[in-house]
Each structure stands twice: as structure tokens, then as C-alpha cells.
Amino acid sequence: MRLPRLVALAACALLAVTACTSPDGGAEMNIADPDVVKLGETVAAFYLSPDTSADKPAEKRQPAYLVLVRADGGTQLIETSGMTESHIAWSETGLFFSDDIRDYILGKGGLASFENKKAGHQQSAFALPGDKGFVAVYNEGFSESGYTNQVAVTTSTGSQLYRVEGNYFMNALCGGVLNGIATDAGAHFANSAKIPGMRSKADPSAQPELLSQLYPATEGKEKVLAWRGVFDAGDHNRHVPCQDGVITFLSDYTDADGKPHLAIVLWNTGDGKYTERPLVDAEGRPITEKLVDPETFSQKTYDAKAVREGRLEWLAADGRIMSTEIASGITTPRFDTGFTSDSDSSSQAVFTDRSINLIQETFDGKTPVRIKRFDRVTGNLITEITVPGLAERFGIQFNLRGMAVPPSS
């Protein structure tokens, strides 16, 4: 991080709505006054936060920013106290985001904020159906009882926070019910010993996956729904689809004997039963033989809207949109987006009913953030936006986190 630019940015923040240019030039940057900022013509939003914020005392931490992007690439930034691996959600009510002190809803009429002190590392954020607010999960870490997370429910009148046992990396909103899949069961781990197949022969300390209902809370606590005898699970997409109470996700794991698997999984939240099918190409071969590099499979990205017409769509690290038939596991490429994820860049995908929206950052401190929108059905490119100035202004230590687009996109 270049200190002169940080100093310039801090000075700019004091000027509120006025545009500010750093001494070495570059695009103008608007730090929004929270009293007057509105969604306006925003077509996409994402969170910028420093890598090291969670490791520093509060008085030395750098701020983080919600970035509002217009169709012409212009931006407004809303300064926050920061959130590691932040996630944002967009509904007809507005745009939800948070930091470790407050929760925010940015609507057409302006910005509302509610005090809600919590952990500084986020797992997920969802808009509740019927414009009933938002629910989000935060990683509290190790506590007296084991590993714990926090769940926050935010409405137009305020926020409520409560603790749940376990570390729920993946989350799925099934109607108005939030379910979480944990790879560290926390206080529940001991109970799994009573269930056959929930211990790894290769590594007895490895934990199975736990499915729990996190919201609504049951007597103020999470409700354990089911266990899955898989270990060392590598799929950590934070938001996964749920239809008719069945969660669908891609899973990279080892079984009780230590054998690796790549599969598409359907986990029923009603009866706790799950089915899975190996991921194969059109010729029936494991996808890692010809179709996908096994070393980059973990860099795939998809979200809660990724299922369409019986298929789960996902962005592979090489930039192709892949389509996996849920009933068979057969996976085929749809089209190439040109947005890759590797040691030099990172891309993520946001799905809506009508479009696939991608954003890419490059880790060189100079290449602009780029956003593409593709038609969900045809795969045709609809729009492409270049967002100038952010890379030069913030350097490589500020990373692009969660992205959101209007639900009607």
C-alpha cells in the first residue's frame, strides 16, 4: 500500500460529497456524505476492504468502502469501519451491507444505519422474501463452547444479533428460512460420534458436515437438521441455491477412507437426506481429466440464484461458465467470459433470473476493475463497465469483496 495515496484518501473523506483527486492524478473519487447518499442510478455495488484490517487494533485500522457503480463507470464510495470478506444483498427495499459496528440499508430515499456490534468477518448476506429485511452470518471464531458464528437480522427498524454453535461456511435461504452447512460443528461435534459413518478412518480428528437451521432461531438457538459423512470439504461458496427446501451445491471432499470426490449434492432440509452425483463431462469422465484443472476447481464461483432449468451454472477459474445437470452430474461449458481467477486476478459471479454478472480485479495496483453482464439464456454480452481509479487509489492491499446487482438486472 502506498502511504501518500492513503493520506490523500483520508483527506478526501473529510470533504464528504466533493470529488477528490490524489496528488499523482487519476480519476476523481467521490466519498459520499452518508446524510445525502442515495442509490440513484447504481447498477452494481461491491465492497473494498483491506486484507489486514482484522489483525490490527481498532485505532490503527484502515476504513473499508462500499462502492456504488453507475453504468458509465462512475462511482460513489461509502466509508465504513470495515468487514473482512464482506457480503452484500440487494432487494426491492434497498442494498444491505455492514461493518463490525453497524448494519446499513441504502434505499432510494437514503441511508439508514443501526448499531450492531459483531464479529469482523462475514460469511453471507441474504435478502428475506417479501421485503422483510435481511439476514447475515458472521464468523465469531473460537469461544468457550467451541467454534461459533453470529446471525444478524436487520429490518427497517433495527438489527438483532444472536450466537449459533458451529462455523457455517455455506448458507442457503430456503423461502424465509436460513440454513447453514458447517465444516466445524463446534459444540455439536461430540454428538456426531453417536451416528455411524461420521468419523474419518484416515483422520479421526476430521469433522463431518453439519446442516442446521440458523434463522428463524429455535428458542434462541440453531436447530440441528442432519449430518453428512464427508471430510476436508473444500467447497466454500458462501451462498448456495435452495429450491423447495432442497439445497444444491458442488462438493470437493474426501470420504471416510480418505478417497477424494467431486460431486453435485442435493441435501433435503426437511428429512435430512442427501443424494450426490459425481461431476463428469459429456463422455462420462471425471471433470478433472479433461474439462477442469483440478488445481483450480476451488476457485469456482456461483451463488444462490445459480440453478436454472435443472442445471447449476458456475464460473470456472479459466473464465468459462459451466453448466452441471443436477440429475446426472454431467457438466458442459456454455461460453467463455474472459474473466479468469489465478495468482494475478480474481473474478466472481452474481446470478439473477435474467443475467450473469461478473466482476474482476487484477492484483497489480493499476488495472481497472471490470464488470460484465451476460444474458442468462443466450450467453450474449449485454454490457461491459470499466471502473477507473480504484486500483491506483487503493493499491493491492485493498481487495474486492462481495458484489451485488439489482434483483431486476
pLDDT digits (tens, 9 = 90+) for 284-294: 999 999 999 99
Residue 130 has pLDDT above 60, yes or no: yes
Examine the pLDDT at 8 and tell me if it is beyond 50: no
pLDDT band at residue 59 using 50, 70 and 90 as cut-offs: low
The pLDDT value recorded for residue 41 is 94
pLDDT at residue 15, as a whole number: 28
Calpha distance 258→206 (Å, rounded):
10
Question: Residue type for 343, please?
Answer: S
Q: Are strands 381-387 and 369-375 parallel, antiparallel or unpaired?
A: antiparallel
Residue type, 299: Q
Q: 286: number of CA atoms within 13 Å, CB side?
A: 10
| Residue 352 contacts residue 376 (beta carbons within 8 Å) | yes
Domain 279-409, CATH 2.40.10.480 — does that match? yes
Q: Determine the 3-state secondary structure of 20 from DSSP.
A: strand
pLDDT of residue 300: 96
> How far is it, in rounded angstroms, from Cα 351 to Cα 274?
25
Q: Average pLDDT over the chain, rounded to whole?
A: 90
What counts of helices (H) and strands (E) characterise the chain?
3, 30
pLDDT recorded at residue 53: 44
State how far the Cα of 35 lies from the Cα of 156, in Å rounded to an integer: 17
Whether the CB-CB separation of 145 and 184 falls below 8 Å is answered with: no
pLDDT of residue 136: 98
**Single-letter code of the amino acid located at 174:** C
Residue 2, pLDDT > 90, answer: no
Per-residue confidence band for 392, with pLDDT thresholds at 50, 70 and 90: confident
Contacts of the segment 103-109: beta carbons below 8 A, 24+ positions apart: 103/134, 103/136, 103/152, 103/154, 103/159, 104/66, 104/78, 104/80, 105/134, 105/154, 105/156, 106/37, 106/38, 106/39, 106/66, 106/78, 107/38, 107/39, 108/38, 108/39, 109/38
Which sign does the torsion angle of CA 332, 87, 362, 385 carry? positive
Query: Would the pLDDT of 184 be above 60?
Result: yes
The answer to whether residue 55 scores a pLDDT higher than 60 is no
- What does the DSSP assignment read for 194-228? GSTT-S-SS-TTPPPEEEEEEEEEETTEEEEEEEE
Q: Which of 65, 9, 71, 61 is nearest to 37 (CA)?
A: 65
% of residues, the chain, pLDDT over 90? 83
- For the stretch 16-39, pLDDT in tens is 323 333 333 334 568 999 999 999
Q: Break the chain into its structural domains and give their ranges.
A: 32-160, 279-409
